[in-house]
Every structure is written in C-alpha cells, then in structure tokens.
Structure 1
Amino acid sequence: MKEPFKWDNYSDQAAILTDKNFKKKMRKKEFFSLLKTLFTALIILPISIIAMPFVKRKEIDSKNFFTLGVDYQRESEKTLELLDELDVESILVRIKLWELETLSELKIFLEANKGRQITLKILQDREHIEDLELLEKDLMYIFSELHDLVDIFEIGTTINRAKWGFFSVDEYNRFFTIAYKLKQEQFPDIKLIGSGVIDFEYHYTVHTLFNFTPYKYDGVSSLLYVDRRGAPENLQLGFMLSDKIAILGSMITLSPKSDHKLYITETNWPIKGTAPYAPTSETECVDEATYANYMLRYYLLAFASQQVDYVSWHQLIAPGYGLIDNRDGLQKREAFETYKFMVKTLKNAQFLRLDIKRSYYILQFLVDEQLLQIHWSLKDTILRNEDYFNVYDKNGKSINDETLKIGASPLYIFITQEVGKKVNCL
C-alpha cells in the first residue's frame, strides 16, 4: 500500500493511520464534501426513520442468506472441504487492488466454487483512489477475467474510515463511477454493489444514496458491526440491530440510486485472548461461547427483518474472529458447529414471525412443512418441554430434559403436533 497507509496482516485489515497531520490535511481538503454529508443526513435520516413502518418486506432467498467470508490464500484446499461440510451456498472473497498479481490464484479458487453464489469485495488503496485511470485499467482486468465467475462485485469497502484510504463520500462517488462506467459500456450483466459503510454511521450511507453523481447500485452493501455495543439486541442511540436494518431498508427504498437489495457484507465479534489477531481492543472481545451465541442471534434478527438479502460472516478461518483458529493447525471453534447447524436447519426455511416480550424472543419458521420455533431470552427463564417438542441446542444436540433453560443460547424447538399450537412459559 502507498505510504502512509499500511496493511495489518494479523487482523486482515488496514492498519491505524498514525500520521495525524496527514489526516487533518486530507479532511480539510474534503471539507465541502463532509459538509454535504452532514446536510444531506440532516434532511434524509429523519424522513427515513419516519418511513420505516411503510417499507415492505421482501421474499428472502434463505439458501443464499447464510453467506461466509473466505480467504482464497489461506488453506485453500481445506477451505473447500470446510465449505462442503458447512453446506454453504454463498461465499464472499476479497481481492486487494494492490496485489493483482494473485488474480490467477483467485480465479482457480473461484472456479472450484462455481456451484456457489460468489461476491467479490474489491479492496481499495490510496493510489487507486487518486489515480482513476489506474483504477479503470485494473477494474477492467478484474471484470474481464472474472465476470463469468462472480455474481456480485462489491466496489470498495469501509469508506468512512480514513485508514482505508477514503476521506470523503465524494472521493468514493468518483471511485464507484469508474466501475459503473465500465458496466454500462462493456459489462452490462455484472452486478455492482456499494458503498460499504462500516458501523452505524448512516450519515455517510445517506450521502452515497442521495447525490447527483451519475451512477446506480445493484444493491447496497453495509458492514453493520454491533460488536462495540455487546449483544446484537443492545441499543445504540435507542436503536437495536433490527432497527438499524429497518433504517437502511427505508433509505434504500427512498433512494433513486439503488435496487431494493441490502447485503451485510461483513460482521463479526472479536475473540478474547487472540491479540494481536483480534481486530479491536480486548474491551470488545468476547469468549467463544458468547461469540457463537451472538453470531446466531445476529443472523436470526437479520433474517427476521426480511430486508437483508444476505449476511456474510467475516470469516471462516481467522485466529482473532473466525469460525476456525489456524494458529496451531486448524482448530474448529464452537461457532463452527453453531453455523453448521444453523445453515442445515434454516437454509430452506420460510420465515413466519418474530415475537418479543420482556426480552424473550421467539422466531417462527416453516421448515419442510413443520413448524420450528427458536427461543432465547436476555433474562434466564424456563419453559416446559412438551411431549410435542423436539428440542435441539444451537449446535444440534438433542435436549430431552423435563424443563428447558431459555437464556442467551438459542434453542431450536420443532413442533410435532398441529401447526400453531401455543407455547406457554412456566
């Protein structure tokens, strides 16, 4: 990467930008763009929040909803075996614009995954942001080589963090326009998504959806992390995960610049005791059991929104935040089994409803014409295990106890009696 930008190979992300004078200088240069971001958000965000109840739910393809991020340069042969074991049908892969010499290696990996839906996230660097001719040349190379193998191209990422290279939405708009121009002129069948805003900083997202730059998204990408708030149900400025998704859905519906598609292309929780591999400080890190619980609940809440086309978990193999730790061989974490059972059970599920009462959550699905309820509670309670229940823990282990402990770890309850029988807590 071009100085002063660097890559952190431990956490697989851009390193912290330490040159404060450079950051100050660049932000000053982009002052008017930042001003546009502020004023656009002041107008659009309140309207989007008001419009939330009127946004129609979509029919979500559950088969591709459970998407998994993978690294084509990390244990590639074993990765293919693990993807088969998990039965994942949708993956996300990243390519760095400054490392295009690895594109032939990527192409081999993508060809081995032809049966899966593939999203390619194209990571930017400052050189390609500044040199749009270079960007056009390299995007042309990527699209030419991979357009038959990739279903969705995500153009750029994490645009609201200076360490990733962008200092304003205007810079990103110019960047995305190059990709859109290539689509219009030479690759009309490819799908382009953006803008890859990270966290609950929707003033940036608003500016990417409401501007006069001549481009259009085939869908909106969001890196909707909530790890700094702890559990996915926790509030930030009065909004929990479901509300944040609803606001995004509302903005996309109101915007003339995007199809009504929303992709969460990156999220996770960092794991305790994995520094320097964890992407955040130890304060945000959680133990492996909590990681598995949060992951499952995040997926369930996003699925229940019926607004998110997929959630891509970041990622399969990574010491600090992955389903598998590769510091000493490949060690499957508990979350691997949680993910596996989630996909197995829900990949063909039809969502029915979500009920929340006093921090007790019940999701209902129809799975192979059988009613499935998934229960969890933020306050520990118990539920009678009825004769017509078939109960499994989050990892697929059968539970036959007389009473069920309902807490942070969701339980899958198949109803074997007539559909719609009411379940009563003790």
Structure 2
Amino acid sequence: MKNRFIWDEHSDQPYPIGDRQYKKRMKKKYLADYLRLFFVNILLFPITLLYSFFARPRAKNNTDNFFALCVNLNKGEDQVELVRELNCHNIQVRVPLSDLDQLDQYVEFVAKFKSCHVLINILQDRAHIEDKALLASSIHKIFCAFSGVASNFQIGNAINRTKWGFFSVDEYLKFYQVVQKIRDREFANYLLVGPSVIDYEYHFTIRALFNGYRLKYDKLAALLYVDRRGAPENTQTAIFDTRRKIDFLYAIAVLSRKTSSKILLTEANWPLSNTAPWAPTSATECVGEEDYANYLLRYYLLALASQKVESVYWHQLLAPGYGLVDHRDGLRKRSAFFVYKEMLMRLQGAVFERYIKEGNVHSVALSKDGKALKVVWLSAGEKQRYLTTGQVFDKLGQTVSEDVYISASPLYIVG
C-alpha cells in the first residue's frame, strides 16, 4: 500500500499530503461531518465567543506546573541533563503509534527524567485510525508499558491537519472513544487529554467538545501557535491576541460537558530565520534569535496572566529550526535557553497578583518568597524610561544598574 503520510525528520512533523486525488476523495467521504462541523458552529461559535468576554477563572493557577518542555527520544540523552540544568519539572514526550517496535526505548527514556511530571503524547497514524482493533491493542500495550512511569496521556496531535492523519473531527472522536474505553476499564488512574487542535481554529475545538459521543477529556489540550501574527501581543481578526485566544478557548471548555476547564497548551514556538529545512514554516513566519527569546518569555507571561492555563509546553528543547538548543554541530544553547532558565528561576513557585496593560506597556505583578516581583515590557514602539526603586534584572538575569529603559525585551523588577 502506498504510504501517503511521510515524516519530515527536519521539522518533526509530517509533510503535506502530495496525493491531491486521495485528499479530495477522503474529504468527499467525510462531507457529512463537515456539514455537522458547520451547523454546530453556526449555533455555538457566537455563544462561546460572547461568553469569552465574561468567563472568569475559577481558581488561581500556581506556577509549579506551568512551565513545561517537549523532548524527543530521537534527540538523545543530552536532554536529560539539559532539563535538569533548566530545573524544569514538566515534560512532554511523543510516542508515535507507528513506532511501537521501540516502545521499550521510549519507556526507558521517559524513566530517566526522574523528577519530572511527564505527559505522553500518543501520535496517531492512518493505520490505527482505520483499524480500531489495532488501535485498542496498541493503546493497551502503551498503557501497560508506562505503568508506574507516566499516567498522563495526550490522545492525538494536530487533529485538524490532514497530514497528521485525521480527515474529520468525527474520525478523531471515534479514535478517542476507543482509547477512553480501555482507560475506563483497566487504567482508571490515567488522565487523558485532547482534542489537540492546532492553531486558532476553534471551530474544530467546538465540534470536538460538543457532540453526541460518550467521552470526556480530563484536560483540554491545544497547540496554540501564534507565530503567524509575529509578536504574541499582535491580534488576529481585529481583537484576538494571545490572551483573548486563551479566553475564548477557556469559554469553550467551561461551556462544554465533555471536558474539565483545565487547559494545557501542549505546543508553542516561533520558527527561526536561516534554519531551512529545519524550520517548520516558510521564511515569512521566521524570526531572529533575539525576537524568539523575547516572544518566548512574553508568551509565557501572557498565558500566566490569563490564569486560565495550567501548563505551557515549549516545543521543543532540541531543534535546529525552532528549539532552545541547536544540536546540528554539538550543542549550541541559544539565548532563549538561558532566558527560559532565568524565567523558571524567577517565576517557578511565584504567585500571580495582577496584569496591567497601558498602551504598549505590559506589566505582570507576582510575589515570591515574601518579595514583590514585577515583569515589564513593551509590545511596540521605542524604548521608554522607567522609574523604579526595585532591583532590576534583564531577561538573562544580568543586573541593570544604570538608567532603566523598558523595551521589547522584558525586565524583572524585585522589591
């Protein structure tokens, strides 16, 4: 059988499907579900959108589990020490259903991250989508193999991209239902997260959360990329910056009976300039390493300020085209690696207090160890003089002792 789903080893994702006739035939096959997608959203999209302006977080999220990273078996064991250096306690590991011959190696790899809370991301393939008996057998093997090692599983990835294998949300719901039945029957202590829609395409999320299937996501997973808009504060469809997109996602979760309101942003990053073919997008979306580091920190701050996100997984630790470390020729830690390290040192364990936006000036106030902590930055415009009596540090942790100016590069102010 012709394999129409080819993996791109450079960008860690499938290539677009080249067989146009096959795509056309499969989409025609699932036309009825596309119509359901349309009619469900005609009713629910405006309701959830309106509610997003009023929905308030039900409880404050602490920062202990907020910061998380994606690591991969095929990137090697150097990642274990790098995660330890960063002092990151939450990781995600992909386990493709197409690679179960290496299941033991995946388990051994995950077990090396001894102090980490692990999310296993089970990647679909077309064979397991079409053959439910094969899916049930493989899921049972995975669940048994990770017993005592990991208990949180993301079911499926980027389900709204046909190159990842699903041609309709209905296909995914049937897929997820098989997995949940096995969990409910034999692995009651495991948590399942989904539906893992990529980008700001919430009409797919709505279809996955409002349906007649007997299923429930223990937590809501979303791959919330905003890189196509440039900076994380930039808007899409007039008003939807990163925070507004999170508000909308949270409203969908709260109104659905198919999920809890706990949200995991399981992938986010910006592609890096001059890294083709490792960059996962075209050159248009790519940014330089300085912008990448600034956007990383600001994305985390905006998600934290929403108080509606439990964890943000940066994708990923090692990747020439979009990672914290370039491993093409040894291990070159980009400035973003050190920004991430400083962010965890400053913010992990902190308590969020408030977020203030005045024009292009953004400020996130927190407290930690009995001390006030503030992070300030500009989302646009020329740098501005900033008056403070506190100790000031740049995003890398270097002391700012002269006149303080805020810019696109966030500053930490202690005291």
TM-score (structure 2 length as normaliser)? 0.97
5 Å-filtered alignment, 1:9-408, equals 9-57=9-57, 58-76=59-77, 78-238=78-238, 239-377=240-378, 378-386=380-388, 388-402=389-403, 404-408=404-408
Unmatched runs of 5 consecutive residues or more in structure 1: 416-426
Letter in 2 for 1:113: F
Letter in 2 for 1:408: A
1:422 maps to what in 2? none
- Per-residue displacement from partner, 1:107-163 (whole Å, max 9, x unpaired)? 112222232110000011111110111000000000011032113100001011110
**CA–CA distance in 2 between the matches of 1:284 and 1:366?**
35
Unmatched runs of 5 consecutive residues or more in structure 2: none
SS at match of 2:197: strand
Letter in 2 for 1:222: A
Q: CA separation of 1:64/1:151 partners in 2, compared to 1, >3 Å: closer, same or farther?
A: farther
Deviation at 1:368, TM superposition (A): 1.1
Q: Percent identity?
A: 43
**CA–CA distance in 2 between the matches of 1:143 and 1:190?**
9
- Per-residue displacement from partner, 1:326-362 (whole Å, max 9, x unpaired)? 1111100000000000001100110011111111101
SS at match of 1:103: helix
Letter in 1 for 2:369: D
**CA–CA distance in 1 between the matches of 2:345 and 2:383?**
27
**CA–CA distance in 2 between the matches of 1:408 and 1:163?**
36
Report the RMSD for the aligned CA atoms in angstroms.
1.2
**CA–CA distance in 2 between the matches of 1:145 and 1:151?**
11
**CA–CA distance in 2 between the matches of 1:170 and 1:365?**
42
**CA–CA distance in 2 between the matches of 1:227 and 1:2?**
34
TM-score (structure 1 length as normaliser)? 0.95
SS at match of 2:99: helix
Letter in 1 for 2:237: L
1:423 maps to what in 2? none
**CA–CA distance in 2 between the matches of 1:380 and 1:116?**
41
- Per-residue displacement from partner, 1:292-318 (whole Å, max 9, x unpaired)? 000110000000000011000000000
Q: Is the Cα contact below 8 Å between 1:147 and 1:190 reproduced in 2?
A: no
Deviation at 1:41, TM superposition (A): 1.4
Q: Is the Cα contact below 8 Å between 2:4 and 2:17 reproduced in 1?
A: yes
Deviation at 1:2, TM superposition (A): 6.5
Q: Is the Cα contact below 8 Å between 2:124 and 2:157 reproduced in 1?
A: yes
Deviation at 1:385, TM superposition (A): 4.5
Letter in 1 for 2:355: L
**CA–CA distance in 2 between the matches of 1:44 and 1:114?**
43
Count of paired positions = 412
Q: Is the Cα contact below 8 Å between 1:304 and 1:354 reproduced in 2?
A: yes
Letter in 2 for 1:357: E
**CA–CA distance in 1 between the matches of 2:386 and 2:10?**
46
Q: Is the Cα contact below 8 Å between 1:2 and 1:125 reproduced in 2?
A: no
Letter in 2 for 1:325: D
Structure 1 runs of 4+ with >4 Å offset: none
SS at match of 2:266: strand
Letter in 2 for 1:109: F
**CA–CA distance in 2 between the matches of 1:396 and 1:105?**
37
**CA–CA distance in 2 between the matches of 1:75 and 1:196?**
26
Deviation at 1:55, TM superposition (A): 2.1
Deviation at 1:260, TM superposition (A): 1.4
Deviates most, 37-46 or 377-386? 377-386
Q: Is the Cα contact below 8 Å between 2:122 and 2:156 reproduced in 1?
A: yes
Letter in 2 for 1:3: N
Q: Is the Cα contact below 8 Å between 2:62 and 2:351 reproduced in 1?
A: no
**CA–CA distance in 2 between the matches of 1:138 and 1:80?**
27
SS at match of 1:139: helix
1:424 maps to what in 2? none
